[in-house]
């Protein structure tokens, strides 16, 4: 991974891939299958440059050009393969969140923004050894078990119990079938502790719903 140690080292002008429901978090890994010509072009340009792409969700606007959410996450291409039919299979590893600042009209087939990282300086110095208190972890485990049972899903509990908190929280936020607005809430939580609290709360809400309907943040 590129040795970005300060916000000043991060690229300011970045290509963005608007994709609702796809969440990338700092330190997380997001596999993507690229097949649209404009995004194949985007990956080609990224591979020839800094190998970075900003993942961002949308928030209304026209279908042809939806408005970008205010916060996205910059990722670096850390795995790349091309299929026989011309698709790209890539993995983005999350680097740092950004605010979607000015969008530039450079007449490119894909969209580009001037990223603002100031709010997220902590993303580059993440505490990968962070842990939650025993009570918080027990509350979370109870909510997760109820959520998974309710949705008839399963995880490897031995791996989950042994996983560092950051890896566990990121993988669940990115992998479980939350609504786009809920995934955006994970992204915009101030830090890992905040993300852990949002995740626990949403798991509890889902598990306690008597009408078997999934609540989402609007």
Whether 117 and 139 share a structural domain: no
Whether 72 and 170 share a structural domain: no
Q: Among 86, 101, 125, which residue terminates a domain?
A: 125
Question: Does the structure show a pLDDT above 70 at 12?
Answer: yes
Whether 86 and 182 share a structural domain: no
CATH number of 71's domain? 2.30.130.40
Q: Is residue 116 part of a domain?
A: yes
Range of the domain at 39: 7-125
* Cα distance between residue 52 and residue 195, in whole Å: 24
Give the sign of the dihedral formed by CA 141, CA 189, CA 27, CA 178.
positive
Whether 147 and 104 share a structural domain: no
Q: Is residue 213 part of a domain?
A: no
pTM: predicted TM-score of the whole model, two decimal places: 0.89
List pLDDT tens digits, range 106-165.
788 999 999 999 999 999 987 666 677 888 888 999 999 999 999 888 888 888 888 888
Least confident of 18-22, 42-46, 154-158, 196-200: 154-158
* Cα distance between residue 71 and residue 56, in whole Å: 7
Domain count, the chain: 2
* Cα distance between residue 199 and residue 181, in whole Å: 13
Query: DSSP 3-state assignment of 120?
Result: helix
Whether 15 and 117 share a structural domain: yes
Whether 116 and 155 share a structural domain: no
Whether 184 and 149 share a structural domain: yes
Residue 99, phi then psi, degrees to nearest 5: -90, 135
pLDDT for 195 equals 95
Q: Is residue 96 part of a domain?
A: yes
Whether 99 and 201 share a structural domain: no
Number of Cβ atoms within 10 Å of the Cβ of 94: 23
Question: What is the token pair recorded at 217?
Answer: 């943040």
Q: Is residue 217 part of a domain?
A: no
pLDDT for 163 equals 84
Q: Is residue 63 part of a domain?
A: yes
Whether 102 and 153 share a structural domain: no
Whether 162 and 90 share a structural domain: no
Whether 35 and 140 share a structural domain: no
List pLDDT tens digits, range 35-71.
999 999 999 999 999 999 999 999 987 777 899 999 9
Whether 104 and 11 share a structural domain: yes
Select, from the ranges 25-29, 151-155, 205-209, the one with the highest average predicted confidence (pLDDT): 25-29
Q: Which is nearest to 123 in space by CA: 218, 189, 31, 61?
A: 189
Q: Is residue 215 part of a domain?
A: no
Give me the percent of the chain exceeding a pLDDT of 70. 92
């Amino acid at each position: 991974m590129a040795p970005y140690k300060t916000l000043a080292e991060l690229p300011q002008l970045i290509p963005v891939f608007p994709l609702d429901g796809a969440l990338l978090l700092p330190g997380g890994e997001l596999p993507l299958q690229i097949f649209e010509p404009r995004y194949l072009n985007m990956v080609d340009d990224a591979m020839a440059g800094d190998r970075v792409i900003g993942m961002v969700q949308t928030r209304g606007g026209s279908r042809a050009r939806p408005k970008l959410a205010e916060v996205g996450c910059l990722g670096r291409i850390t795995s790349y393969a091309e299929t026989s039919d011309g698709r790209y299979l890539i993995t983005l590893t999350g680097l740092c969140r950004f605010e979607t600042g000015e969008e530039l009209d450079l007449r490119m087939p894909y969209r580009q923004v001037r990223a603002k990282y100031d709010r997220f300086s902590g993303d580059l110095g993440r505490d990968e050894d962070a842990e939650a208190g025993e009570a918080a972890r027990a509350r979370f485990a109870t909510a997760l078990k109820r959520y998974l049972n309710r949705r008839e899903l399963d995880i490897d509990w031995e791996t989950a119990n042994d996983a560092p908190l950051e890896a566990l929280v990121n993988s669940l936020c990115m992998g479980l079938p939350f609504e786009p607005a809920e995934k955006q809430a994970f992204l915009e939580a101030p830090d890992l502790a905040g993300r852990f609290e949002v995740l626990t709360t949403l798991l509890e809400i889902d598990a306690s719903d008597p009408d078997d309907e999934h609540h989402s943040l609007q």
